[in-house]
């Protein structure tokens, strides 16, 4: 009995010692293999990752990081180009829809056959200025796709559907009105504009330093005078703007009315009003109703500058029985060639619509085109340059 128990205890000891020896052997073998792996990796330029038997070269790791960085950079570029194209189409008064795909945005637009050459030429100038490569592929008589590339990557695709050539209006000399905004900040600009002989309107900022001088110049040189009424923009458009004196959507109706009346009093020669910025304010029907009520009481006309596709201002003005118009093309560009193309586009719209309104600002390039190109272009397109009051209805 005692011998049997003693033997059993000895067996346990042997089992424990054997287990310890096996465990130590596994540890030593693993350590040896790890050391061997390390030495092999150092000799071959490999670095172990994840498991003792998984390797990635330093070169491979660097390439993976570069690929990741390129994807991130491409996504950023595509997003920036998307915003640029949205602005280009909106300022050109081209309606569009868009769809975000994996690495780029697809735009869908519809152009009249008469518009297509001008918009394409504008797109070429736009692409060159923004460092983009434009490639075209024609799928049919009424479908063309514009591909935009940057750094060899496709960053945007514009699917253009073309409407067959429509008949021109029967009007012999279609009417075009040009409104020059942001007037009242420079005497020199006013003096240059006063030398232009054809008809146009100057829209005066009510709190500008040379407001009264602008009104005097307008009267003396037979330019139509308008009030450029400051309205709140959407935040992303007005981040750096001082909104003091602007009509804001959080103002009480009586305050909006008071401001509108005061500004009309400051520019008594104004026969019409258009909004300065206002991409947020003009979306609010109840707020615009207050402003338009004052405009109607004062027997003025209203032109919607159309600073957002969501504006309700023009539609509401018409419903309220106010003589109104809406902007067709923003004419400005830092590039002279694009500015000229914008005026051509405006005149082309008038040929097919019977009338058109263009809005611009008194920057150096635009003023140069206004003084030296517009009169010739108007004759070439056979349009009449008139005051806004001759177009609104």
pLDDT in tens, 120-160: 999 999 999 999 999 999 999 999 999 999 988 999 999 99
Distance CA 356, CA 377 (A): 15
Q: Are 132 and 148 in contact (CB under 8 A)?
A: yes
What residue spans define the domains of the chain? 61-163, 175-390
53-91: per-residue pLDDT in tens? 445 566 666 666 666 777 788 889 999 999 999 999 999
296-312: per-residue pLDDT in tens? 999 999 999 999 999 99
In sequence order, the 6+-apart residues with CB closer than 8 A to the CB of 314 are 302, 304, 306, 324, 325, 326
pLDDT higher at 268 or 236: 268
What integer best gives the mean pLDDT of the chain? 90
* Band of pLDDT at residue 169, cut at 50, 70 and 90: confident
pLDDT higher at 51 or 270: 270
Instruction: Indicate if the pLDDT at residue 49 is higher than 50.
Output: no
pLDDT (average), residues 308-334 = 97
Total Cβ atoms within 10 A of residue 14: 10
Distance CA 305, CA 41 (A): 69
Which pLDDT does position 171 carry in this prediction? Answer: 81
Closest CA relative to residue 328, chosen from 124, 111, 118, 90: 90
Report the SS3 class of residue 104.
coil
pLDDT (average), residues 47-56 = 48
Beta strands in 113-236 (DSSP E): 133-140, 143-150, 153-163, 175-183, 201-204, 224-231
Which pLDDT does position 51 carry in this prediction? Answer: 47
**Side-chain-facing half-sphere of 48: CA atoms under 13 Å:** 14
Closest CA relative to residue 137, chosen from 126, 148, 127: 148
Instruction: Indicate if the pLDDT at residue 174 is higher than 60.
Output: yes
pLDDT (average), residues 13-29 = 79
> Measured in Å, how far apart are the chain's first and last C-alpha atoms?
122
CA angle 95, 358, 247 (to 5 degrees): 85
pLDDT higher at 323 or 10: 323
Taking each helix axis as running N to C, give the angle between helix 58-91 and helix 116-129, from 0 to 180 degrees, rounded to the nearest 10.
140
Which pLDDT does position 1 carry in this prediction? Answer: 53
Closest CA relative to residue 328, chosen from 360, 298, 301, 371: 360
H or E stretch at 122: helix 116-129
pLDDT higher at 66 or 39: 66
pLDDT (average), residues 236-250 = 88
175-390 maps to CATH 3.40.50.300 = no
* Band of pLDDT at residue 9, cut at 50, 70 and 90: low
Which pLDDT does position 138 carry in this prediction? Answer: 96
Q: Are 183 and 202 in contact (CB under 8 A)?
A: yes
CA angle 374, 375, 380 (to 5 degrees): 90
Starting at the edge strand that comes first in sequence, how are the strands of the sheet with 96-100 ordered?
A: 96-100, 105-112, 153-163, 143-150, 133-140
Distance CA 346, CA 358 (A): 7
The string of DSSP letters for 168-184 reads PPS-SS-EEEEEEEEET
Instruction: Indicate if the pLDDT at residue 326 is higher than 80.
Output: yes
Q: Which CATH class is domain 61-163?
A: alpha beta
Total Cβ atoms within 10 A of residue 171: 15
Which pLDDT does position 34 carry in this prediction? Answer: 64
* Band of pLDDT at residue 22, cut at 50, 70 and 90: confident
Q: Are 271 and 224 in contact (CB under 8 A)?
A: yes
Distance CA 145, CA 142 (A): 10
């Amino acid at each position: 009995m005692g011998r049997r128990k003693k033997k059993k205890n000895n067996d346990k000891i042997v089992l424990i010692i054997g287990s310890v020896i096996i465990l130590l052997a596994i540890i030593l073998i693993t350590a040896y293999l790890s050391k061997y792996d390390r030495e092999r990796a150092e000799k071959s330029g490999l670095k172990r990752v994840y498991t003792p038997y998984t390797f990635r070269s330093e070169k491979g790791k660097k390439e993976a990081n570069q690929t990741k960085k390129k994807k991130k950079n491409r996504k950023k570029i595509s997003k920036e180009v998307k915003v640029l194209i949205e602005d280009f189409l909106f300022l050109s008064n081209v309606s569009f829809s868009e769809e975000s795909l994996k690495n780029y945005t697809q735009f869908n637009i519809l152009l009249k056959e008469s518009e297509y050459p001008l918009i394409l030429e504008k797109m070429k100038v736009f692409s060159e200025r923004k460092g983009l490569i434009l490639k075209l592929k024609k799928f049919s008589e009424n479908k063309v796709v514009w591909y935009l590339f940057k750094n060899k990557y496709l960053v945007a695709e514009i699917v253009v559907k073309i409407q067959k050539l429509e008949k021109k209006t029967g009007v012999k000399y279609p009417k075009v009105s040009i409104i020059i905004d942001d007037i009242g900040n420079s005497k020199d600009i006013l003096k240059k504009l006063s030398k232009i002989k054809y008809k146009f309107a100057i829209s005066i900022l009510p709190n500008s330093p040379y407001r009264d001088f602008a009104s005097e110049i307008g009267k003396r040189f037979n330019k139509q005078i308008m009030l450029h009424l400051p309205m709140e923009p959407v935040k992303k458009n007005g981040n750096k703007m001082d909104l003091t004196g602007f009509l804001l959507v959080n103002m009480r109706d009586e305050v909006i009315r008071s401001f509108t009346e005061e500004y009309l009093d400051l520019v008594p020669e104004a026969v019409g009003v258009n909004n300065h910025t206002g991409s947020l304010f003009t979306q609010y029907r109840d707020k615009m109703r207050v402003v338009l009520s004052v405009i109607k009481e004062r027997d003025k006309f209203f032109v919607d500058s159309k600073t957002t596709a969501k504006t309700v201002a023009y539609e509401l003005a018409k419903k309220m029985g106010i003589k109104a118009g809406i902007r067709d093309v923003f004419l400005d560009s830092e590039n002279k060639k694009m500015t000229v193309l914008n005026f051509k586009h405006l005149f082309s719209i008038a040929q097919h619509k019977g009338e058109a309104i263009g809005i611009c600002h008194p920057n150096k390039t635009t003023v140069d085109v206004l003084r030296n190109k517009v009169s010739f272009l108007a004759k070439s397109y056979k349009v009449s340059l008139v005051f806004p009051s001759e177009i609104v209805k």
